[in-house]
Amino acid sequence: MPSTKSDIIIAGAGPAGTTCALALAEAGLSVALIDKASFPRDKVCGDAIPGRAVKTLYSLNPKFKEEFLAFPLKLQTRSTALYYRNRELSFNWVGEAYTSARLDFDNFLFSLVRAHTGTTILQETEIKEAQQGKEGFTLTTSDGRTLNCKLLIAADGANSTLARKLINRTINRNNHVGSVRAYYSNVTTLNPHTTEVYFLEEFLPSYLWIFPLPDNRANVGFGMLSSEISRRKLDLKKLFYEFIERSPKVSQRLQGAIQEGPLQGFGLPLGGRRLPISGSNYMLTGDAASIIDPMSGDGIGNAMVSGKLAAAQALQCFATGNFSAQAMQKYDAALYNTLGSELRLHLRTRNALARMPFLLNGIFALAGNRHIKRLVQKAL
Ligand SMILES: Cc1cc2nc3c(=O)[nH]c(=O)nc-3n(C[C@H](O)[C@H](O)[C@H](O)COP(=O)(O)OP(=O)(O)OC[C@H]3O[C@@H](n4cnc5c(N)ncnc54)[C@H](O)[C@@H]3O)c2cc1C
């Protein structure tokens, strides 16, 4: 039976939580990583592993780079093609980015934690309650156990129980995207190294994506601002199939393809607005901290950056014995200094496109212009 008292409990073993555990590998602290699921577990996502995620992983330990390069269940993304009104805008990626089903990618990160750290791992353990006391936190799990820690790192995703309890976070529909995605097999006309993004005028700046996966599979999805979904009383699942039907290029891509399993929905808490993400004896990371890129919907890289920064702050706390809310502010500052201006810019760009969809016409009309290309590349 693992110890019920740890220096650090990381709640959630997605990219934010596993990165944090990996970054704490040499800390000499007792760390517990807790997840309600059993790995490998699926996560509704587009499965695009952004350059920032790859870079962050490599920065932790050269061994992780070696192991990731040998990990077979991925495709390198070399270019992205955007389609709008019979026009195409494509560009090549400079950094190293991939596509990999989250079932596999997250399990890869989870296996690194198992292989390279002394972390205590508890699966199928859902955190239901968090009580703060003098010495840190007491967590209660769904099976009635209590777990204690000095420092709590919340990495429990978009529907974070802990963010609700610790910072009273509610969904801000104006900064939250509702999304659906399905897997398809037998997708034979897709370039395995190109991710594709499709726009339709009436849903701008929302888009449908087709991201290639190994073995002629593809991840196909569509997302839209939650406030728009409610205002227009839209049924996202219905809209997904309508989009495919109405876009000849998308229909052509999926001709002969077979949908595997159901179309599944999940939310994306976007970044761009500064929220409190720490307090005495705790920090929030990843989707629990609402730091998904408002333009691209990429959250894996940002989640991993936050996990790494939370680990650095944790080391400081244990070195100084200071776990006060004021000391934790350094984590907020580090995270917003790293990601804040990019998130704000992308939020403004997204809002401008929503108000003035004709801007996209301009962007596509100037598709050959290298400044425009660079701008779009940066935004994605
Ligand atoms: C449809 C869709 C498409 C997306 N596409 C992309 C993309 O292509 N590229 C990209 O970079 N990002 C994408 N994102 C965003 C990305 O999925 C998230 O930003 C990323 O998963 C955040 O990682 P995380 O570790 O914070 O949370 P998660 O990956 O959600 O991990 C949270 C973990 O916490 C566990 N957990 C939750 N509650 C509890 C609890 N109470 N107790 C114990 N454990 C708990 C869960 O089981 C889970 O394992 C997409 C999101 C959606 C919804």
Phi, psi of 280 (to 5 degrees): -65, 125
Lowest mean pLDDT among 184-198, 204-218, 366-380: 366-380
Query: 246 C-alpha to center of ligand 1: Å?
Result: 30
Higher per-residue pLDDT: 372 or 331: 331
Mean pLDDT along residues 114-136:
97
Q: Rounded distance, CA 200 to CA 319, Å?
A: 53
Query: 46 C-alpha to center of ligand 1: Å?
Result: 11
User: How does DSSP classify residue 158?
Assistant: T
Does 50 contact ligand 1 (Cβ within 6 A)? yes
So what's the pLDDT on residue 59? Answer: 98
Token pair recorded at residue 243: 């989009």
Does 152 contact ligand 1 (Cβ within 6 A)? no
Q: Rounded distance, CA 203 to CA 238, Å?
A: 14
- Does position 3 have pLDDT exceeding 50, yes or no? no
Residue 155: how many other CB atoms lie within 10 Å: 32
Query: 228 C-alpha to center of ligand 1: Å?
Result: 22
Residue 160 Cα: closest atom of ligand 1: 38
Residue 177 Cα: closest atom of ligand 1: 53
Q: Whose CA is nearest to atom 10 of ligand 1?
A: 298
Task: Return mean pLDDT, the chain.
Answer: 94
Higher per-residue pLDDT: 263 or 358: 263
Q: Rounded distance, CA 380 to CA 362, Å?
A: 17
- The structural domains of the chain, ordered by start, are 5-74+99-171+270-352 (3.50.50.60), 174-268+356-379 (3.30.9.100)
Does 196 contact ligand 1 (Cβ within 6 A)? no
Does 287 contact ligand 1 (Cβ within 6 A)? yes
CA-based angle 316:319:322, to the nearest 5? 70
Query: 11 C-alpha to center of ligand 1: Å?
Result: 12
Query: 47 C-alpha to center of ligand 1: Å?
Result: 11
Q: Whose CA is nearest to atom 5 of ligand 1?
A: 46
Name the residue among 32, 51, 22, 48 with its Cα closest to residue 310. 22
Does 15 contact ligand 1 (Cβ within 6 A)? yes
DSSP string, 40-53: S----S--EE-HHH
Per-residue pLDDT tens for 320-357?
Answer: 999 999 999 999 999 999 999 999 999 999 888 887 77
- Does position 379 have pLDDT exceeding 60, yes or no? no
Q: How many Cα neighbours within 13 Å face the side chain of 251?
A: 8
Mutate-to-test residue for ligand 1 from 22, 35, 36, 45, highest number of ligand atoms within 8 A of CB = 45
Query: 186 C-alpha to center of ligand 1: Å?
Result: 27
Lowest mean pLDDT among 1-5, 127-131, 163-167, 345-349: 1-5
Query: Binning pLDDT at 50, 70 and 90, where does residue 145 land?
Result: very high
Global pTM value: 0.96
Q: Whose CA is nearest to atom 17 of ligand 1?
A: 45
Per-residue pLDDT tens for 76-95?
Answer: 999 999 999 888 999 899 89
Does 43 contact ligand 1 (Cβ within 6 A)? yes
Query: Binning pLDDT at 50, 70 and 90, where does residue 216 land?
Result: very high
Does 155 contact ligand 1 (Cβ within 6 A)? yes
So what's the pLDDT on residue 275? Answer: 94
